[in-house]
Amino acid sequence: MNAVQILDGAVGTLLEQMGYPSHPILWTAEAARTHPAMLEAIHLAYLEAGVDVITAHTFRTTAYAYRKAGRTEQEAYQALEAAVSLAKGCISRFGKWTALAGSVAPVEDCYRPDLVPGPEELRHSHRLQIGWLKSAGVDLILAETINTVIEAEIIIECSKELDIPVWISLLPGPDSSLHDKVSLSGAINRLWDLGASRVMLNCRPAAEMNDWASVFAHSTHPWGIYANGPGRPDPECGWTGEDDNGIDEFIKTAQSWVSMGASVVGGCCGSTPQMIRILRKKLDLSNTQGES
């Protein structure tokens, strides 16, 4: 395995660009059941790009989200199991061992930390989904876009109870804080102390991530960043605005995080297999030149 692990990039925004009819609450959670060919094509494109970790598309496959959408817990489980099974099939088809992460989202909206429910509901929801993911056969939990420390702590607690490694990726807020106003550096150290295998940042533009990446400076713990690709959200297609200059800047910025000591890099909303492929080649070339 490579010293720096390459995480895959966006899935949901790519599905929307391909015409997937996303749901206001579930987003693209049903893709593995309703549009498996679309999802399979995306996973295979990332595998061909050279990633070390594929993320099962389970971001919104929670009993909580399905209940809020008027659906059943059984439907949430079926969507999750289908997503993990499809991702495992893609890895098997590709023929090269790749780690499989199970995506875990905040129980509520990523950008509405004020809606985060109490600890009892958080424990119930995360313990249930993480248990499903472990039973389905993922290698690790990737908790993404987590916007409060309390939810991050409970995800680690549930993962430890279920004996599965957990990577926590935080959504940094203004002034180098999380949205509950806990300092980012304080939160990161707390999560490492609690047993997170990786602490990362995601779902901000790459240029903005530079404002927060310095919190990892001189750290002896493994960390990573996977930023949004160039462009912005678009109500019609999910994401728009990709251009060659933006891709170049994304790649250069990701390389700078590796130079700072990042052990995981990848892409979030708006990123593509093409971008991840270029990043893989650039990092491999840097490694080769460093060894010569």
pLDDT tens digits along 238-272: 556 655 568 899 999 999 999 999 999 999 999 99
3-state secondary structure of 267: strand
Tokens of 278: 């270029």
pLDDT of residue 239: 54
pLDDT of residue 181: 78
Tokens of 264: 């995981």
pLDDT of residue 1: 42
pLDDT of residue 196: 98
Name every residue whose Cβ is closer than 8 Å to that of residue 47 and which is 6 or more positions away in sequence: 54, 90, 91, 94, 96, 98
Let me know: does 170 contact 152? Beta carbons within 8 Å.
yes
Residue 81 to residue 137: CA distance in whole angstroms: 9
Q: What is the pTM of this model?
A: 0.94
Residues in the chain, pLDDT under 70: 1-2, 176, 232-245, 288-292
Residue 289 to residue 23: CA distance in whole angstroms: 47
| The amino acid at 227 | A
pLDDT of residue 113: 86
Phi first, then psi: give them for residue 25, nearest 5 degrees.
-105, -50
pLDDT of residue 241: 61
pLDDT of residue 290: 63
Pairing of strands 166-170, 198-205: parallel
pLDDT of residue 178: 82
Residue 83 to residue 33: CA distance in whole angstroms: 8
pLDDT of residue 234: 52
Largest distance between two CA atoms of the chain: 59
Q: Delineate the domains of the chain, giving CATH numbers in brackets.
A: 5-291 (3.20.20.330)
Residue 62 to residue 67: CA distance in whole angstroms: 8
Residue 105 to residue 113: CA distance in whole angstroms: 12
